[in-house]
Amino acid sequence: MLLNIDNNAKTIKGQAYGYMTGVLYLAPYTTSGHLVCPSASPGCIEACLFTAGRGGMNIVQNARIAKTQLLFSDRQIFLTLLLDEYVRLERKAKKEGLIPIVRLNGTSDLPWEKFKVSGKSLMESYPDLQHYDYTKIFPRMIKFLEGKLPSNYYLLFSLSEENEKQARQVLALGGSVAVVFQNGLPDTFWGYEVVNGDEHDIRYLQGQVGKVVGLKAKGRARKDTSGFVRVA
């Protein structure tokens, strides 16, 4: 199976809001031999949640590497299988009375709006299915803010130790930025309201409103010294 359907602590929280999340976890950065995080910073790479929780198990890591290699070796087969997974997600969500949503970059940062099946992106193939992702790819984020991505694809920019200028620009343009904090979450950051991003993972519910989505440092991020993690 390609999609992890509500099988981690964070996405399960979304059920309280009426949503069921399907997340695609690939092998991040160049772990699989293929680059899937082109704008990753050293701090981001070091703090990556790839090895957190169940992700620390060899069998899980190997499965994610295999998925990533399939994506790059035969993209059409991968995307066809992924669309089959959408059907599985929708059926499961309907059975449980929940709204299905998809996050394709669980541990990657790929421009999924460019990946086509029969001439259509995944979002275009399922226009009623909401997609959302975090990204550090600034041009993608600007396209989103300009309304140039599929209407059912919401993006949230991620702050690193290297893209502060870009993150400030995103906020100024009305987008939201995810920030990892040490020692709890502040009320404001750079003059913008901080909302608790650990309450659920349904980012698009907060809308394009110029807010900071605060995330508490987890795993190796708690020991970050690069500046990727900010001090509350």
Would you kindly state where each structural domain of the chain is located, as residue ranges? 3-231
**Helix 58-73 vs helix 75-95: crossing angle, to nearest 10:** 120
pLDDT tens, residue by residue, 83-117: 999 999 999 999 999 999 999 999 999 999 999 99
Task: Confirm if 23 and 103 have CB atoms less than 8 A apart.
Answer: yes
Residues 6+ apart with CB under 8 A from 87: none
Q: Which DSSP state fits 3?
A: E
pLDDT tens, residue by residue, 135-169: 999 999 999 999 999 999 999 999 999 999 999 99
pLDDT tens, residue by residue, 18-50: 999 999 999 999 999 999 999 999 999 988 865
Query: Which structure tokens are listed for 232?
Result: 């509350």
Query: Which structure tokens are listed for 42?
Result: 């050293």
DSSP state string for 172-198: HTT--EEEEEESS--SEETTEEEEETT
Residues 6+ apart with CB under 8 A from 74: none
User: pTM for the whole thing?
Assistant: 0.92
The three-class DSSP label of residue 83 is helix
Task: Confirm if 41 and 162 have CB atoms less than 8 A apart.
Answer: yes
